Amino acid sequence: MRVFPVLFGGWINQNTQQPLVKDESKRSKNVKSMSEINTHEERDDTEEQLKLWRGAEKKAPWHDPPPKVKVTTLEGICFIDMELILGLPPQAAYNVLTNPDNQPYSRIINGRELIHNKSRKVVTNDESGYFVEKEKDVAWNVLWWSRAIPITFVFAENQKDLSAVYMKKKMMFMKDFEGSWQVEPIFVDSQRLCKHRLPKSQEDYRQCSGGQGKIASKVKMNLTFMPSSPFNLPPVSWYIRGIVIKTTKTLLQDLQATCARIRGA
């Protein structure tokens, strides 16, 4: 397994008996109002980028390429490595991923949201980010059996480098379930606006493009999971693994659709 239990284990033990502080931020339909944007400068930059994206969307719609997904299995442990491009600036894309307003974004399947966000509670926070506990219901449809499975996750969200790691705290059928993501900028208009100059930073890109270059986001994600006993034995483990992989791919598509709505597609 990966390093997430080392990161979370001591923290969970220290905070199990502490009262959770509920995130009081209200729901918002506009990503630029989300409270996780740390400074006025970052907020202004994100707002300017969103204006560029929304203006460009009216002239030439952006189409996110299909996500890249690689699945490997070793000794019953399943590893899913993913990469996807989002037509939003990095801070906005990160806010969609962390979902501080706990908004729904997944599709409806058989009368249920694929992922229903029940609650989001900030447990601790510091200059770099948050430890957050999230409760979700996942729609689980197996033949004639359909129900919502409750899951509790713990996230460590790092706003400075736009990354997060997470692991399950409570989850049926799963012994281990953990993952991470990292958001990186893509200077999509650099060839057109910066000519032969290769920008090395967002500030460099802003200067060479005259502030007119759009910044997209590359998101690198991974997920590692292993069913608990006796569900870790074939053929049941194969079936569970197939459901998790299919659900994950569907959520990636829903994530891209959400970003498209934000930029006005």
pLDDT tens digits, one per residue of 77-105: 999 999 999 999 999 999 999 998 888 88
Task: Please state, rounded to an integer, the average pLDDT across all residues of the chain.
Answer: 84
CATH topology of domain 4-15+35-262: Alpha-D-Glucose-1,6-Bisphosphate; Chain A, domain 4 (3.30.530)
Compare 127 and 69 and report the one with higher pLDDT: 69
DSSP 69: E
| C-alpha atoms less than 13 angstroms from C-alpha of 67 in its C-beta half-sphere | 25
Predicted TM-score (pTM) above 0.85: no
Say yes or no to pLDDT of 150 above 70: yes
| C-alpha atoms less than 13 angstroms from C-alpha of 71 in its C-beta half-sphere | 12
Nearest to 226 by CA among 174, 264, 263, 156: 174
Compare 208 and 6 and report the one with higher pLDDT: 208
Rounded Cα distance, 176 and 17, in Å: 23
Mean local confidence (pLDDT), 48-75: 95
- How would you class 231 by CB atoms within 10 Å of its CB: exposed for 0-12, middle for 13-18, buried for 19 or more? middle
